Amino acid sequence: MAGEPLRVGIIGIGVYSVYAHVPQLRATGRADIVAISRRNPERLAMVQEKFGVPHAYTDWREMLARAELDAVFVCTPHHLHTEPTLAALARGLHVMVEKPMALRSEDAWAMVAAADRAGKVLMVGYPNRMDGTWRTIKQMIDQGEIGQLRQISLSDCTFRRWFWQNERLPDHAQALLRQGTGMPDAFFSDWGLAWHRKPDEMGGGAFTDIGTHLVDLLLWLAGSPAGEVAAFTEKAEMPVDSFITVQSRLANGVLLSLSWADAVPRGLVEGDRTLLIVGEDGTITDDAEGGMWLYRDGKRTKVEPALPTQSVASGFVSAVLDGSQAYATAREGAYAVDFTEALYRSAAEGKIIRLDHV
């Protein structure tokens, strides 16, 4: 396969795939999208025509059986990640599976075992790891800029009420997607208003969809899975959790604190975050308005991102073709599922959850 482009199929070719994965795969110059699948034939045809994909299927099983592939991107709704991932690995294909990797810990670890047996790359779609700011923070921690890491605190918030309150996308979101994809309104007008509104398919509330990014980032920065998790959740006017506070002691002893709100008023603090990383010799802070700062030896130093932002697609293609380290491995994806599952158990049962996969 040396020198040849990676032949990629996309299972669940929806809005995000068209918005992010398709252009990012093409931008690598080392991958060809040769097949796509989606249950809705009309929208499947829209994508095939727009991007000139040779083969399109309404059943991903048929795609795996008939298309000549080296790898697949699994971009189905959350509750449908496991079966196609396991099937693709069994066929000897490399896999990039969207986050969250699975809704249940046992399914996530079944994927890990399958990838190990197949000897194939299984990567999880956590793009924040590829962001230049987060990569710079990780590098500073790993290079000992603040000494031994002891504690990380993160407060973040989003506005996702429209998933539960509206019958269509907000106008600003629809305009953004139209501009970013070049697709007609009919392709994405009801995006998020189907499975995103079903807790059993989402795997909970918006935290499972968006908060999983934060869980992954914290575990990645600390370099350890969780050992103990204690959490509290509350609801707003939506049928699922809107506010979450979680504390965790990781397997390496680092303490985590995460507060997340999903129902903040639009235009107030949407997308804001406050990050505090404490080491024995210094601290790192970062927030949406003030940027990143390093405090050490009594000095306060402004830090600019030192590393470029990369894409999920470029990281995956490099892992497969060059043998480089996958930026979000299967095990790391499973650790995030463990954490999220423990979070909801702790909130429901009112007790600290101790994890086995450490």
3-state secondary structure the chain: CCCCCEEEEEECCCHHHHHHHHHHHHHHCCEEEEEEECCCHHHHHHHHHHHCCCEEECCHHHHHHHCCCCEEEECCCHHHCHHHHHHHHHCCCEEEEECCCCCCHHHHHHHHHHHHHHCCCEEEECHHHHCHHHHHHHHHHHCCCCCCEEEEEEEEECECCHHHHCCCCCHHHHHHHHHHHCCCHHHHCCCCCCHHHCHHHHCCCHHHHHHHHHHHHHHHHHCCCEEEEEEEEEECCCCCEEEEEEEEEECCCCEEEEEEECECCCCCCCCCEEEEEEECCEEEEEECCCEEEEEECCEEEEECCCCCCCCHHHHHHHHHHHCCCCCCEHHHHHHHHHHHHHHHHHHHHCCCEECCCC
CATH 1.10.760.10 fits 6-129+312-329, yes or no: no
Q: Is residue 289 pLDDT above 90, yes or no?
A: no
pLDDT confidence tier of residue 208, bands split at 50, 70 and 90: confident
Please write the tens of the pLDDT for every residue from 51-89.
999 999 999 999 999 999 999 999 999 999 999 999 999
Q: In what order do the strands lie in the sheet with 94-98?
A: 55-57, 31-37, 6-11, 71-74, 94-98, 122-125
In this prediction, residue 15 carries a pLDDT of 87
State the span(s) of the chain assigned CATH 3.30.360.10. 131-308+338-354
Domain with CATH 3.40.50.720 in the chain: 6-129+312-329
Backbone angles phi, psi at 34, to 5 degrees: -105, -15
What contacts 135, CB < 8 A, 6 or more positions away? 129, 305, 307, 309
The predicted pLDDT at position 269 comes to 47
- Looking at every residue in the chain, the average pLDDT score rounds to 90
Tell me which amino acid residue 80 is.
Answer: L
Given pLDDT bands bounded at 50, 70 and 90, which one contains residue 162?
Answer: low
Q: Which residue has the tokens 């669940």?
A: 12
271 is written with which tokens? Answer: 């997308």
**Confidence check: pLDDT of 288 > 90:** no
Residues 6+ apart with CB under 8 A from 4: none
* Averaged pLDDT, 200-209: 72
Q: Which of 148-162, 192-206, 337-351 has the lowest mean pLDDT?
A: 192-206
Query: Best-predicted range by mean pLDDT among 101-110, 162-171, 205-214?
Result: 101-110
pLDDT at 241: 72
Residues 131-308+338-354: name the CATH superfamily.
Answer: Dihydrodipicolinate Reductase; domain 2 (3.30.360.10)
Residue-wise pLDDT for 1-58, tens only, equals: 557 899 999 999 998 899 999 999 999 999 999 999 999 999 999 999 999 999 999 9
Check: CB of residue 68 under 8 Å from CB of residue 45: no
Alpha-carbon distances, residue 332 vs 23, 58, 123, 130, 342 (angstroms): 26, 31, 9, 15, 15
Q: Is the pLDDT of residue 163 over 60?
A: no
For residue 209, the model assigns a pLDDT of 81
Give the tokens for residue 37. 């699948």
The rounded distance, in Å, linking the Cα atoms of 82 and 178 is 30
Q: Which long-range contacts (CB under 8 A, 24 or more apart) does 166-171 make?
A: 166/193, 167/193, 168/193, 169/193
Q: Look at residues 105, 65, 63, 66 and name the one whose alpha carbon lies nearest to residue 82.
A: 105
Dump pLDDT digits (tens) for 166-188. 556 667 777 777 777 888 877 87
121 pLDDT exceeds 60? yes
% of the chain exceeding 90 in pLDDT: 72
Q: What is the pTM of this model?
A: 0.93
* Residue 221 pLDDT grade (very low, low, confident, very high; cuts 50, 70, 90): very high
Across the range 199-224, mean pLDDT stands at 85
> What percent of the chain stands above pLDDT 70?
86
CB under 8 Å to 209, separation ≥6 — which residues?
78, 100, 160, 196, 202
